[in-house]
Amino acid sequence: MSRVKRGVTKLKRRRNILSQVKGYRFGRSTKERVAKEAIAHAGTSAFRDRRTKKREYRHLWTLRINAASRNLGFSYSKLIGELKKKKIGLDRKSLSALAKDYPATFERLTQQLKA
- Mind listing the pLDDT tens digit for each residue in 50-104? 999 999 999 999 999 999 999 999 999 999 999 999 999 999 999 999 999 999 9
Q: What pTM does this model have?
A: 0.75
- Mind listing the pLDDT tens digit for each residue in 84-99? 999 999 999 999 999 9
DSSP 8-state code for residue 31:
-
- Rounded to whole angstroms, the Cα distance separating 23 from 93 reads 35
Query: What are the angstrom distances between the C-alpha of 43 and each of 14, 18, 50?
Result: 18, 15, 11
pLDDT given for residue 104 in this prediction: 96
Q: Is 1 within the bounds of a domain?
A: no
- Rounded to whole angstroms, the Cα distance separating 45 from 47 reads 5
CATH number of domain containing 65: 1.10.1900.20
* Displacement of CA 38 from its chain's centroid (Å): 22
Total domains in the fold of the chain: 1
Q: Are 98 and 109 in contact (CB under 8 A)?
A: yes
Q: Is 105 within the bounds of a domain?
A: yes
